[in-house]
Amino acid sequence: MQSNDILINIVRFIVLVFIQVLLLNNINLGGYINPFLYIYFILLFPLDGNKSLLIFLSFLLGLSIDIFEDSGGVHAAASAFIAYVRPFVLKYSFGVSYEYKSVKIKKADTTEKITYITSLVLMHHFVMFSLEIFSFKHIPLLLKSTLFSGIFTIVLTMCTMILFNRKSK
Amino acid sequence: MQQIIFFFIRNKNFLLFAVLFIIALALTIQSHNYHNNKFISSANLVTGGVYTVRNNITDYFTLAKENEDLLQENLMLRKKLSQYNELNLAPTLDSGNIINKFEYYSARVINNNYSKTKNQLTLDKGRRDSIKRDYGVISSKGIVGIVSDVSNNYSTVQSILNTKSRINAKLKKSSHFGSLIWNTKDPNIAQLIDIPRIADIEKGDTIITGGRSTIFPEGVLIGTVKDFHLDNDDNYYYVNIDLFNDMTSLEHVFLIKNNDAIEINELEKRVEDAE
């Protein structure tokens, strides 16, 4: 990681937390659907970065959201989880090019990018909502929330990626 | 020894993840338990500060509605006052001797959520304003929740829209008691359970707090009966209630302190211990 990368990631961390708690948590589309864009940080963390560092930072990121939302540790758990499984997801979404460290998430093939984002987002939402709801009685609610919030998050993540990609060229 | 160290180095990512995940799980479970969710909450200086700044900005957008609500409340109080004056009370009482059973404080809602299954509010009053845990929270229209945690300047409230909440409530006309719960489906509709089958209940009946707890005084408005049916074992009604309060837009609330709460709780505890 270069110093430029470090700076970008620190700024991204802080900005995403604020956008999440001040704006996105108040959307409540259809009563309960909110996007969780903050995991954008985990998705775009440099591929050659330290994996332990990513797990730790993801935990902190989730915990910051939890403190604002009064939700115990559900975001922290879900974020640490996807940070841990990220290398595996990267391997099956990008295949060989990931092994040779030649892939760049922003410039990757669209299908591969969508596979990568969708898998991580759905895993994150599933873990988060199961912990938040924490009861077998509400499994339909769990699946519904995961699906709808997941779609919302995926769309928003793709938009953000396209938006910021263009600027950097 | 060397093997153990190698094992740790090889699996350091997994171990780190496991430790952090367990910490997060512990925090989650702790927050599910009403009486000790005190470790991490939005009633701290940083988050409270951020929410206050946001509210200072967003407050302006709801001023018109707030004014309307205040007008309505003034009108209601005026009506009550005129009725009170007409009563022509007997010779003046020595007001110095009357200790009010309930004291009221006002506060502003700086964060409110209603889309989760366990919803919380954050208020801008805390320990320095003599707010304590277990104070009841109401708005001018009806019940809101119960204070669950306090910091120096902020407090968090467990909303009635929380699967952990269980509040004593009754039918206004017949005084049959039940518990107010929430089934997570709609932030405008709560449920009343354990109303005995014998109770005479109709659509549109008013539901108020029961006064059996030490938290709320009797008669705080909750809502009206939307529909009802007998539950599985046919002995109790399951009632859907249209809440008077719009839980999705709360600005100013009142906190209720029950001056007798400590005495009542101590007495009840003593009786329980004796048994």
SS3 at position B59: helix
Inform me whether the C-beta atom of residue A84 falls under 8 Å from chain B C-beta atoms.
yes
Contacts of B28 in chain A (CB under 8 A): 71-74, 77, 131-132, 134
> Minimal Cα distance from B30: which residue of A?
A72
Inform me whether the C-beta atom of residue B70 falls under 8 Å from chain A C-beta atoms.
no
Q: The whole model's pTM is what?
A: 0.74
> Minimal Cα distance from B34: which residue of A?
A72
Contact (CB<8Å) A21/B122? no
Residue B90 structure tokens: 């007997």
pLDDT, position B202: 87
pLDDT tens series, chain B, 275 aa: 788 888 888 888 889 999 999 999 888 887 776 555 555 666 677 778 888 888 888 788 888 888 888 878 887 887 777 777 666 555 555 555 455 678 888 888 988 888 888 888 999 889 998 898 889 998 888 899 999 889 888 999 999 998 888 899 988 888 888 899 998 888 889 999 888 888 888 888 899 988 788 888 888 889 999 988 888 777 888 899 999 888 888 888 889 888 888 888 888 888 888 87
pLDDT, position A169: 43
Contacts of B21 in chain A (CB under 8 A): 77, 80-81
Cα torsion through B31, B34, B40, B43, rounded to 10: 140
pLDDT, position B39: 59
Give the ranges where A23-73 is alpha helix by DSSP (H).
40-44, 51-69
Contacts of B248 in chain A (CB under 8 A): 28
Q: What is the ipTM of this complex?
A: 0.89
Q: Hey, which residues 95-124 in chain B have their CB within 8 Å of chain A?
A: 111, 113-118, 120, 122
Half-sphere exposure of B271 (CA within 13 A, CB side): 5
Rounded average pLDDT per 10-residue block, chain A, 169 residues: 83 93 84 89 88 93 89 91 92 77 74 91 94 83 91 93 70
Contact (CB<8Å) A72/B12? no
> Minimal Cα distance from A68: which residue of B?
B42
